[in-house]
Chain A
Amino acid sequence: MENSQIIKITELVKDFPVGTGSFRALDHINLSFGKGEFAGLVGPSGSGKTTLLNIMGSLDTPSQGEVKVLDFNVGELSARESATLRKSKLGFIFQSYNLLPVYTVYENVEFPLLLLEFTAQERKKMVLDALEWVGLTPKMKSKPNMLSGGECQRVAIARAMVKKPMIVLADEPTANLDAENSHHILRTMEKLNRELNTSFLFATHDEKVISYLKRRIVLADGKVEIDEKTAITK
């Protein structure tokens, strides 16, 4: 693997069992991502974006081929090893935020640090920094049900970013947000990508997201149709 290469996908196939047969969701994918990318898997619903993102996040495994994330072979990790990979190197952002409802904003952001066993002092500094990045310091004592959708997604970004992961995987992060909030969180992520050199990989079919991408990978029926660097269009 090249030094700046953090994900390398070779001849990836993903089949899902459907009834008695199987359905091929990803069909011989070859891709690689470098450090600090701001890239997106683009394509219509059902084209395989989420499936590919899940495999890169070690939440799912390939049926064929090889997926290497930071030198870990996703298909061969034990449950414990893949949990460790997610815990220490990956951040996730989901379409429906997936905040823990009984925790405050602060506690939600702190959660990944508890799993990583940082000391109370370290945690406090890191959480406050992360809340600062997304502009939610004043809301840190609120519970998720008191926040707007945009605010929830910013908490989710802070939660993904707080441990300064190598890669953030974001699946349709703007799907539940209005235009203004979408632009707000996209600018936030763009800034973090620039300042912390974290790689952001999106799965999206939202034009607003696409307009921020520096690299666009178009998927159709589980195959890569286009893979291109893009000029910022906005």
Chain B
Amino acid sequence: MLSLKLAFKNLIGAGLRTWLNVFVLSLAFVIIIWHKGMLDGWDRQARTDMIAWECGGGQYWQQNYDPYDPFTLTESHAAMPGDAISKEKDGKLLPILISQGSIYPGGRIQSVLIKGIVPSQKILAIPSVVLDTGITEIPVLIGQHMAKANRLKIGDVFSMRWRTSSGAFDAADARVVRIFRSSVPSVDGGQLWVSLPTLQKMLNMPGQATLLVTSQGTINPVTFNGWKFKDLDFLLMDVTNIIKAKSASGVVLWFILLLLAMLAIFDTQVLSIFRRQKEIGTCVALGMTKGQVIRLFTVEGAMHSVFAIILAMAWGTPLLYLQATKGISMPVNSQDFGISMADVLYPVYSLGLVVTTTLIVFVTTTIVSFLPSRKIAKMNPTDAIRGKIK
């Protein structure tokens, strides 16, 4: 097509200014893909980790259980249904019992959740097997944030207090047998893990549980009377919402980046139409219609985006590839976000992301190039030929 050929020549001929615009646009292009890739990577990591550490294939909640209201905890436990017990034997279900309690590390008092987990379980990534040990104190397992907050180390002994099912207080010594690292704050902060049979004995609640975690990949869960099934969509709602909120604020960033690049191109177009009116007049004299000249200038402006995309591929691909394989260290604490965030994030760049971004950049550049070009239609060719238009 003629206008493509001519536009290409004009753009190359414009030299430095072209490359400056192309560079700015390619920067915006790569940053947008990188930023969105980070969010997608975080989303994937948070989901994977939360499934592995906390959610499994979904959870049954004892019908009174409400994680946001700790005062209901004393009411939210029940004996496991018979079907559930056989599923547990098959390794398809993991009962967890939760109780409130206090610990006294170094003389301070600290309110905690005590969670009982089957030591031999394989459904969650929590290293519960270490709880199966014959020491005189109650063996407890904590996460590193819990350890840091209470200045606890492996081997530390502290006293622990709780209420039994009859409401009476009871106390015993506990010993930290292991500190685990997890990116999932909801299995770490303000809680400690003990063996389920131990906790059932402590509370005098034999065979009881608060939660039943199903194994990953559970589909069509059966219903248990007195228990409500919470699927992954529900359990991961926080992840969905936070990523959505971050994407929304990301859109602002992308908009600003694109706006900057578009301003540069718009400015170039306006200037070039003003400076090249003699050329425009000449093209008309040589037999182009104004429509053809407008098309030529629009194609010329839009071609910035084609160059920018090629340039972005050239320098962006190795960079983004490196980040996707080596990961990016996150300086922030996952506890600050309320959802899982690993220390190292691996951005995920999907084909859809690249294609969508490319289209957006191309379409906006074309529009921005077209808008000032419409001015050509109003030009008087006899004045334009002499470069007389002010």
Contact surface of A with B, Cβ cutoff 8 Å:
50, 54, 57, 59-60, 79-80, 83-84, 86-88, 92, 94-96, 98, 100-103, 107, 111-112, 114-116, 159
Q: Is the CB of B289 within 8 A of A83?
A: yes
In the assembled complex, how far is the CB of residue A61 from the closest CB belonging to chain B, in whole angstroms? 11
B74 at the interface (CB under 8 A from A): no
B347 at the interface (CB under 8 A from A): no
B286 at the interface (CB under 8 A from A): yes
In the assembled complex, how far is the CB of residue A37 from the closest CB belonging to chain B, in whole angstroms? 20
Q: Is the CB of B282 within 8 A of A86?
A: no
Q: How far is the CA of A94 from the CA of B284 in the complex (A)?
A: 13
How many residues on chain B are close to A (CB under 8 Å)?
A: 26
Given known contacts A59-B285, A86-B285, A86-B286, is B13 in contact with A101 (CB within 8 Å)?
A: yes
Q: How far is the CA of A101 from the CA of B292 in the complex (A)?
A: 19
In the assembled complex, how far is the CB of residue A48 from the closest CB belonging to chain B, in whole angstroms? 13
Of A80, A84, A88, A98, the contact of B385 (CB 8 Å cutoff): A98
Residues of B with C-beta under 8 A to A84: 287
Q: Which one of A84, A96, A115, A116 has the greatest number of beta carbons of chain B within 10 Å?
A: A115
In the complex formed, the residue of B with least CB distance to A54 is B382
In the assembled complex, how far is the CB of residue B297 from the closest CB belonging to chain A, in whole angstroms? 14
In the assembled complex, how far is the CB of residue B285 from the closest CB belonging to chain A, in whole angstroms? 5
In the assembled complex, how far is the CB of residue B276 from the closest CB belonging to chain A, in whole angstroms? 9
Q: Is the CB of B278 within 8 A of A79?
A: no
Q: How far is the CA of A87 from the CA of B386 in the complex (A)?
A: 19
Q: Is the CB of B281 within 8 A of A87?
A: no
In the assembled complex, how far is the CB of residue A130 from the closest CB belonging to chain B, in whole angstroms? 14
Q: Is the CB of A88 within 8 A of B382?
A: no
Given known contacts A83-B289, A84-B287, is B2 in contact with A101 (CB within 8 Å)?
A: no
Q: Is the CB of B13 within 8 A of A102?
A: yes
Residues of B with C-beta under 8 A to A57: 285
Q: Is the CB of A83 within 8 A of B287?
A: yes
Q: How far is the CA of A191 from the CA of B292 in the complex (A)?
A: 34
Residues of B with C-beta under 8 A to A92: 282, 285-286
Within residues 340 to 390 of chain B, which ones have a CB less than 8 A from any CB in chain A?
381-382, 385-387
Q: How far is the CA of A103 from the CA of B385 in the complex (A)?
A: 18
Q: Is the CB of A98 within 8 A of B281?
A: yes
Q: How far is the CA of A10 from the CA of B289 in the complex (A)?
A: 27
B279 at the interface (CB under 8 A from A): yes
Q: Is the CB of B282 within 8 A of A100?
A: yes
B10 at the interface (CB under 8 A from A): yes
Q: Please, could you name 18 A-B residue pairs with CB atoms under 8 Å apart, sorted by A?
A: A57-B285, A59-B285, A59-B385, A79-B291, A83-B284, A83-B292, A92-B282, A92-B285, A92-B286, A96-B278, A98-B282, A102-B9, A102-B10, A102-B13, A102-B14, A112-B286, A114-B2, A114-B6
B263 at the interface (CB under 8 A from A): no
Residues of B with C-beta under 8 A to A54: 382
Q: Is the CB of A100 within 8 A of B279?
A: yes
In the assembled complex, how far is the CB of residue A171 from the closest CB belonging to chain B, in whole angstroms? 9
Q: How far is the CA of A57 from the CA of B381 in the complex (A)?
A: 11
In the complex formed, the residue of A with least CB distance to B292 is A83
B44 at the interface (CB under 8 A from A): no
Given known contacts A86-B285, A114-B2, is B290 in contact with A94 (CB within 8 Å)?
A: no
Of B286, B289, B290, the contact of A111 (CB 8 Å cutoff): B286
In the complex formed, the residue of B with least CB distance to A160 is B286
Q: How far is the CA of A84 from the CA of B385 in the complex (A)?
A: 18
Q: Is the CB of A79 within 8 A of B385?
A: no
Q: How far is the CA of A84 from the CA of B278 in the complex (A)?
A: 20
Query: Top 7 nearest A-B pairs by Cβ distance?
Result: A87-B287, A102-B13, A98-B282, A83-B289, A86-B287, A92-B285, A54-B382
Q: How far is the CA of A111 from the CA of B287 in the complex (A)?
A: 10
Residues of A with C-beta under 8 A to B2: 114-115
Q: How far is the CA of A102 from the CA of B7 in the complex (A)?
A: 11
Q: How far is the CA of A103 from the CA of B11 in the complex (A)?
A: 11
Residues of A with C-beta under 8 A to B248: none
Of B5, B14, B284, the contact of A59 (CB 8 Å cutoff): B284
In the complex formed, the residue of A with least CB distance to B282 is A98
In the assembled complex, how far is the CB of residue A89 from the closest CB belonging to chain B, in whole angstroms? 9
In the assembled complex, how far is the CB of residue A113 from the closest CB belonging to chain B, in whole angstroms? 10
Q: How far is the CA of A83 from the CA of B278 in the complex (A)?
A: 17
B288 at the interface (CB under 8 A from A): yes
Q: How far is the CA of A101 from the CA of B287 in the complex (A)?
A: 18
In the assembled complex, how far is the CB of residue B376 from the closest CB belonging to chain A, in whole angstroms? 12
Q: Is the CB of A96 within 8 A of B386?
A: yes
Residues of B with C-beta under 8 A to A86: 284-287
In the complex formed, the residue of B with least CB distance to A100 is B279
Residues of B with C-beta under 8 A to A116: 287
Q: How far is the CA of A159 from the CA of B287 in the complex (A)?
A: 12
In the complex formed, the residue of A with least CB distance to B10 is A102
Given known contacts A98-B278, A102-B10, is B382 in contact with A115 (CB within 8 Å)?
A: no
In the complex formed, the residue of B with least CB distance to A103 is B9
Q: Is the CB of B289 within 8 A of A101?
A: no
Bitwise, B264-287 to A at CB < 8 A (1) or not (0) is 000000000000001101101111
Residues of A with C-beta under 8 A to B10: 102
Q: Is the CB of A80 within 8 A of B289?
A: yes
Q: How far is the CA of A102 from the CA of B289 in the complex (A)?
A: 21
Residues of A with C-beta under 8 A to B288: 83, 87, 115
Residues of A with C-beta under 8 A to B284: 59, 83, 86
